[in-house]
Structure 1
Amino acid sequence: MPHSQGPSMRRLLTLPMIAVASATLAACASSPAREIAVPAEPLTYTPRAHSAPYPTFAPPLVEVPDLPLRQPLQLNAKDRTCLVAVMYYEAHGEGQKGMEAVGHVVLNRLGERPEGTTVCDVVYEKKQFGWTRKISRKRVAIGKTRGWKTAATVADKLIAGYSEDLTQGATSFYSVFEFRDGPPEWVENDEKTVQIGNHVFIAP
């Protein structure tokens, strides 16, 4: 038969538990608070000012050299829109370098055209870019998604002269995803310069 505990025995059992609880609270109070590091603001490339009004957005991070690589281009708002659109529709899934490369193809073609030819003229040449059959020259516009913002920022990098031509002077390109069995017939006499993502770039 178990013995009953008197009042003095219960007090003796309670005292150690109070001591343990007090020690735990004291340890918690004396522990220094953890410091949480706050990430620094990311550096962003801000496009140069233009005379024509452009959509406002927070530009994404884009690598830019310290000095321009060539003279800046003088493009009006419509030609800038055409450049952004062709970079987005042809290569928005290829990352910044892929979009930049497509932009250089358009500018390289522009350099071969007669004086007075515009970027929109090059982009809307017949049977060059499939998306132009659905979106007319009058209706083409810059969207508001992050992909569009990236394309616009990279286009401004090209316009300002801060972009190296990674295509090595290419004036055409094709998708290896579309032509899985080999290059299209029109590249037989042309030279492959480089492959960037899923696009193979061709120079005359």
Structure 2
Amino acid sequence: MKHRIAIFASGGGSNAEAIMNYFQNHSTISVALIVSNKFEAYIHERAAKHKIPSYTHTAKGIENGEIEAVLKAHEINFVVLAGYLKKISLSLVNNYPNRIVNIHPALLPKYGGKGMYGMNVHKAVVANGERESGITIHYVNENYDEGNIIEQHSCAISPDMTVENVQQAVLKLEHTFFAPCIERIINK
């Protein structure tokens, strides 16, 4: 039986596409569904290109069981958050124990929590003069960025780096390490 992944994303979906590419011809794991909270998100075009169904949930879809019904209908057994900007419900966390993972563009516990995503994180890292940043892959619980850490990867930051330079360095780590980490988690 193949493990069926749903990727949740709110925007462009470059991480989601890296994951789709990684598992495209995998023998035991497939990306079976893309879930978003935005109809206009570019992730839907990426999903169509890969012939993967995509679904946009309603504003209340996280709390009212809508998402869980869609996941069940698509026989999803693992959930990946890749640039998804909504909080996951306790019900969903309980229905997928240790089967929901997120990638955060900083070395948690620093620069986590509500509102800390994307460029907000990189701006804070640069403003505080950090000498390194990176990624944290972690399990998801009912609180933003507080689930158990699975792995972290770092990159050096020099004083002359712009926020955009830091973003690109971190994105390279995300594209390199996230999909293989998902594979290890599922296969253990």
What TM-score do you get using the length of structure 2 for normalisation?
0.28
Give 1 or 2: higher strand fraction. 2
Larger radius of gyration: 1
Q: Which has the higher contact order (CA 8 A, sep 6+)?
A: 1
What TM-score do you get using the length of structure 1 for normalisation?
0.26
